[in-house]
Amino acid sequence: MLNDREVKLPQDLPSGTQIRYKIGASEIYIETHREVWTPSEFTINMCKLLDSENLKNKVVMDFACGSGILGILAAKKGAKSVIFSDINQRALDMTKRNWKLNNLPMRRMKTIRSDCYEYFHQIDRRLKVDVIVSNPPTAPENLTTKRQKKLAAQWNENGEDARKVTDALIKESGDFLNENGILLFVTTNKQGPIRTSKLLNKHFGKGLQKNNQVDPLDYMDTDNGKYNWKVIKRLRLLLDEWYFPFIEKYKNIAILRNEPSPILRNEEGELIQLLYFIKANKY
C-alpha cells in the first residue's frame, strides 16, 4: 500500500498496486491497472474541488471515469448514487473493483460503457443527474493507436484535436442535468481556451471571463455568487514529458483555430501548462 504523496510517476506503477489517497476527511483506496489512468495531479485537484461541494443525497455522474476516484469520493461525501461512464471497459471493471475496495454498497453504483454520451442519447435519454464531474483526457489522437488501445496513456487521447470528450461535456451535459445541476471539469490551455469559453457561453449562458486577455480562461474566481459558469481554480504545472511528442500538433491546432500559443515556459525555461477547473450551472 502506497500513500499518494509517495507516488511520483503514477502511470509507471505495476498493475495491482494499491494507493491510499487522503481527500479532506475521506480516505480512498485505488488499485492500479496498466490499461487504466491512475489518478494524477489533475485528478487530485479535481477531488479537492469536489470535496468542497454539498453532495448529500445527490445523483452524481463520473464521466470518463477512469479509476473511478471522483465518483467514489462523491459516494463517501453522501451522494445517493453514482453513475460511472467510460469507453474503456477495463476502466469500468477497475471502477467496480475500487468501489468494493472502499467498502461501498453496490446498490449505490452503476457502470455504463459509452463513447461520450452516445449510450445515454440512444438508450437512456430520460436520465437526469444532479452533478456531472469529469477529468477528461487531454491529448490528441495518435493514429497508430486509434484502432486498438491497450495502455492507460493511450486512453488519455481525446480525438484528433484533443477536444472530443471536452466538447461533449460542454455541449451535451445540459441534456442530462436536473435544474440547478452542476458540471465540474478540468481543461487546459493546450486544448484551446477561446473555443472552450465560446462553447460554454453558447450552452450554459454567458459566464465570467476575461475579455481583455489573450486567454479568456486565465483567471480564478472563488466568489459564491450566482453565475452560469466560471473558472474556480487555476494551476500552472510543469508539462509532463509524456506530452512532448504532441507539442507540434498542439501548436498546429492553435494556429488553425487562432488560439493562444499552447507552448508556455516558466522563468527557468521549463515547459508548463495551465489547468482551468470550471464549474457550470444549469439554471
Residues in the chain: 283
Please report the pLDDT score of residue 240 as a whole number: 87
Q: What is the pLDDT of residues 87-146, one digit of tens each?
A: 999 999 999 999 999 999 999 999 999 999 999 999 988 999 999 999 998 888 765 544
**Averaged confidence pLDDT in the chain:** 91
What's the pLDDT score for residue 220? 92
Q: What is the mean pLDDT of residues 148-175?
A: 80
pLDDT at res. 153: 57
Q: What is the pTM of this model?
A: 0.93
Q: Name which residue leads in pLDDT, 125 or 33.
A: 33
pLDDT in tens, 208-259: 877 767 899 999 998 878 899 999 999 999 998 888 989 999 999 999 999 9
Is residue 178 a contact partner of residue 282, using CB atoms and an 8 Å limit? Answer: yes
pLDDT at res. 136:
93
Say how far apart CA 122 and CA 143 lie, in whole Å. 27
% of the chain at pLDDT higher than 70? 92
Q: Dump the DSSP string for 146-200.
A: SS---SGGGGGB-STTS-HHHHHHHHHGGGGEEEEEEEEEEEEGGG-HHHHHHHH
Average pLDDT for 260-280: 95
pLDDT tier for residue 2 given thresholds of 50, 70 and 90: confident
